[in-house]
A and B are shown apart, each in its own frame.
Chain A
Amino acid sequence: MFNKKECVAMLLAGGQGSRLYALTQSVAKPAVPFGAKYRIIDFPLSNCINSGIDTVGVLTQYQPLVLNEYIGNGQPWDLDRIHGGVHVLPPYQTASGADWYSGTANAIYQNIAFVDRYDPEYVVVLSGDHIYKMDYNKMLEYHKAKNADATIAVLDVPKEEASRFGIMITDEDDNIIDFEEKPKNPRSTLASMGIYIFTWKKLKAYLIANENDKEASKDFGKNIIPDMREAGEKLVAYRFDGYWKDVGTIDSLWEANMDLINPNIPIDLYDTSWKIYSRNPVMPPQSIGKNAQVQNSMVTEGCVIDGSVEFSMISDGVTVEEGAEILDSILMPGAVVKKGAKVEYAIVGENTVIGENAQIGARPETIEDKDSWGVAVVGNNLTVSDGSVVAPKAIIYENI
């Protein structure tokens, strides 16, 4: 017998993250390191526990090894519970066959039995690739107060950016009357954040109906939400005004990291009332050497820094040798930057070694052709030999 839960969270973490391919060849996107000591999934998981949601299903499919190990029994997020807690839910075989998750809706459909065990009134559906701090409980209260069948969290974005998002068109009471996916001429500036709360009974019925429709693409945005709207269910928009960023691309991943050290961007990791939890590496405090210069950066445990670090995010166990320069860059766990190397506007993957006097990336002002500039990426577990040059915007998958 399972204790009833009012609300269960389902976290979609199966995406391949193909646009982050250099960093996700062997790691699911939610397990990509972020913000010096976190991984992307720490944000939704911490939001859940901070919001009082203690039952979370994590739907995994692509390269789950690192992600599964990282989540473990959920203890770092206080999600190791007798009733509830975090459960990793990969696709599985049944008497009638076995299927991969064929879409976001199908992933939840295949786990209806998991949700039903807790007999919840509501289900919150989350993504594993967003950086934000949000109280889902407030959104749930709103969902209840509005007597909604589905509530979609929206962010008011600048008009010129609206065409990059799924846009919700609402009436004066924030009821969703229409929506459009990445419209050329947006009719509204309310962008969907990919965070949904459903009344479970309703969602379950639509998931089953969608599954029976052989033509459907088994996706929340393409099927479930439109189906519910056509059937006249009550869909409302929940306005969120904090910081939120999708980190699905190299550029947005880099930007979101840089946002953490930008004092004008409202995401505070030092607020003890809404901590972001993570599986802490067991490492000594960071050692800042005699020749080091560290400014406007975040650096975490196990690092040995004797070079110069500015406007950068330095993950656990990174070594920056004397004379090396790191500027506007992200060094992922275990990366080593040897003497005299320069890393500028770049992402260096886990355990990758940058040889002496190598040059990775470049500042935008040094490049004449602006289109050829971008953040350079060196993938995980690679070696860049002494004196090598990696051009800006280049993505490196092999040793050079």
Chain B
Amino acid sequence: MDVNMGNVLGLVFANMHDTTLGDMTKNRTMGSVMFGGRYRLIDFPLSNMVNSGISEVGVITKSNYQSLLDHLGSAREWDLARKKGGLYILPPFGNVESTLYRGRIEALYGAMSFIKHSRAKYVILSDCDVVTNIDYKPIVAAHIESGADITAVAHTGVYSSDDIKTSTVFNVDADKNVTSVLINPDISGTCTTSLNVFVMSMDFLIETVNDAMARGNVSFERNILQEKCRELKIKIYEYDNYFSKLNSPESYFKSNMALLEPENARKLFVPKRSIYTKVSDNAPVKYDLDSKVSNSLIADGCIIEGEVENSVLFRGVKVGKGAKVKNCILMQGTVVGDNAELNYLITDKNVSICENHILTSSPQYPMYVGKGASV
């Protein structure tokens, strides 16, 4: 079925799940969390939308969105600086009655004038907590074909209770119709979890949001998916490609490290479906005479004079002479002093580690060093 993706509006929720990553989202939204050496989480849904042919995208923000605005700029890097459509940033709409939104419904209600202004027939909602390279086109096609009210993208797999406790789980019948919905349940084993991507028609969205607001309902998951799953036709779209879901600091560490497997990196970084991000004009990576690097992902602007193993280095990281970096995620501008030794460490932006310092933690709970800290 051929779908006109020019008829689809994208809505990205930059703030949902902010609390799941702990200190990393203390001063930034989920969407601007750094990932994979040179990206921020919002790059994935935005690039996926652009690569799927969507040219009108709204980004719904709540708080701490300064870094997000800086990152997105005019959205030229995602090819969304357009006269017709393009990227719209939708901060909370301030008036006497409304405050910061409490749930997805209120957030959508706050963006209603933008949504209504669009001429799109369908809407894709996406959060920023799932890192994947996904084509939305077949999902929209499946949605139209099935005549469902809501199509939810989901994955069926074996999950631990840690993975599930912050997820929405669908019980489905043989035809992929949702029969019941569990929110943040304490279960484990094989289940179908939501990837927090939903497709619906524009008319349905507007009607549903207005109706829910009139009844004082704020949660899309509880008040719509869960409560109305019998009266609405909610279908899942089973997604089997490579993805990683960030729902805890540990999962953040694991998902970054997973990219060291060439197989995973190939599935996320597909040549014809590039992941776009802000350009920062860094020089190439410089490897010094005594550098020793293996099994690592390294972004431009790094200068490496020491040893790096099993690590992800973001832009502009410096690793001094004799320093040893193992199993680490070092974000933009981290400076590792000469002869320092790091193992299982996550450093936020512009952290500096003094010379000769030794910092080690465990693979289960990698140590996190906050933005700008000196250790």
Which A residues contact B (CB, under 8 angstroms)?
Answer: 35-37, 75-76, 261, 269-270, 275-278, 280, 282-301, 304, 309, 313-314
> Can you list 11 residue pairs at the A/B interface with Cβ under 8 Å?
A37-B283, A76-B281, A269-B284, A288-B298, A290-B295, A291-B294, A298-B283, A298-B284, A299-B285, A309-B287, A314-B284
Q: In B288-310, which residues have CB < 8 Å from any A CB?
A: 288-301, 303, 308
B294 touches A285 (CB 8 A): no
With known contacts A284-B265, A284-B269, A289-B295, A294–B300 Cβ distance under 8 A: no
Return the contact of A37 from the options B289, B298, B300, B312 (Cβ within 8 A). Answer: B300
Return the contact of B36 from the options A75, A284, A304 (Cβ within 8 A). Answer: A284
B155 at the binding interface (Cβ < 8 Å)? no
B276 at the binding interface (Cβ < 8 Å)? yes
B294 touches A300 (CB 8 A): no
A285 touches B37 (CB 8 A): yes
**In the complex, A295 Cα to B268 Cα: how many Å?**
28
A35 touches B284 (CB 8 A): yes
B262 touches A287 (CB 8 A): yes
Which B residues contact A (CB, under 8 angstroms)?
Answer: 36-38, 76, 260, 262, 265, 268-269, 274-276, 279, 281, 283-301, 303, 308, 312-313
B294 touches A296 (CB 8 A): no
Nearest 7 pairs of A and B residues by beta carbon: A285-B37, A269-B283, A36-B284, A300-B284, A284-B269, A285-B299, A298-B284
With known contacts A283-B274, A285-B298, A286-B297, A298–B281 Cβ distance under 8 A: no
Shortest beta-carbon distance from A292 to chain B in Å: 6
Shortest beta-carbon distance from B266 to chain A in Å: 9
Shortest beta-carbon distance from B82 to chain A in Å: 15
**In the complex, A293 Cα to B289 Cα: how many Å?**
11
Q: In the complex, given contacts A76-B281, A287-B297, what are 9 additional A-B residue pairs having Cβ atoms less than 8 angstroms apart? A: A36-B284, A275-B281, A280-B281, A282-B275, A288-B308, A293-B292, A296-B288, A296-B289, A301-B38
Return the contact of B284 from the options A37, A277, A291 (Cβ within 8 A). Answer: A37
Return the contact of B287 from the options A276, A291, A299 (Cβ within 8 A). Answer: A299
Shortest beta-carbon distance from B312 to chain A in Å: 8
**In the complex, A379 Cα to B48 Cα: how many Å?**
36
Please give me the residue from chain A that is nearest to B276 by CB atom. A282
Return the contact of A75 from the options B38, B76, B265 (Cβ within 8 A). Answer: B76
Shortest beta-carbon distance from A4 to chain B in Å: 28
Return the contact of B288 from the options A35, A278, A295 (Cβ within 8 A). Answer: A295
A276 touches B283 (CB 8 A): yes
Residues in B with CB closer than 8 Å to A293 are 292, 294
**In the complex, A329 Cα to B159 Cα: how many Å?**
48
Number of A-B contacts (CB under 8 A): 104
Please give me the residue from chain B that is nearest to A275 by CB atom. B281
With known contacts A270-B303, A288-B293, A290-B294, A278–B285 Cβ distance under 8 A: no
Residues in B with CB closer than 8 Å to A292 are 293-294
Please give me the residue from chain B that is nearest to A268 by CB atom. B283
Residues in A with CB closer than 8 Å to B76 are 75
B293 touches A270 (CB 8 A): no
Residues in B with CB closer than 8 Å to A287 are 260, 262, 265, 296-297
Please give me the residue from chain B that is nearest to A277 by CB atom. B281
Please give me the residue from chain B that is nearest to A80 by CB atom. B76
Residues in B with CB closer than 8 Å to A299 are 284-285, 287, 298
Please give me the residue from chain A that is nearest to B296 by CB atom. A288
Interface centre among A288, A300, A313 (most CB of B within 10 A): A288
Residues in B with CB closer than 8 Å to A286 are 285, 297-299
With known contacts A37-B283, A294-B287, A282–B274 Cβ distance under 8 A: yes
B279 touches A270 (CB 8 A): no
Residues in A with CB closer than 8 Å to B284 are 35-37, 269, 298-300, 313-314
B286 touches A288 (CB 8 A): no
A295 touches B281 (CB 8 A): no
Shortest beta-carbon distance from A48 to chain B in Å: 15
Residues in A with CB closer than 8 Å to B313 are 285
Shortest beta-carbon distance from B242 to chain A in Å: 14
Please give me the residue from chain B that is nearest to A78 by CB atom. B281
Residues in A with CB closer than 8 Å to B36 are 284-285
With known contacts A284-B38, A285-B36, A296–B299 Cβ distance under 8 A: no
With known contacts A270-B283, A280-B281, A300-B300, A288–B295 Cβ distance under 8 A: yes
**In the complex, A314 Cα to B276 Cα: how many Å?**
22
Return the contact of A288 from the options B269, B288, B294, B303 (Cβ within 8 A). Answer: B294
Residues in A with CB closer than 8 Å to B297 are 284-288
A300 touches B265 (CB 8 A): no
**In the complex, A355 Cα to B288 Cα: how many Å?**
28
Shortest beta-carbon distance from B135 to chain A in Å: 17
**In the complex, A283 Cα to B37 Cα: how many Å?**
11
Interface centre among A289, A291, A301 (most CB of B within 10 A): A301
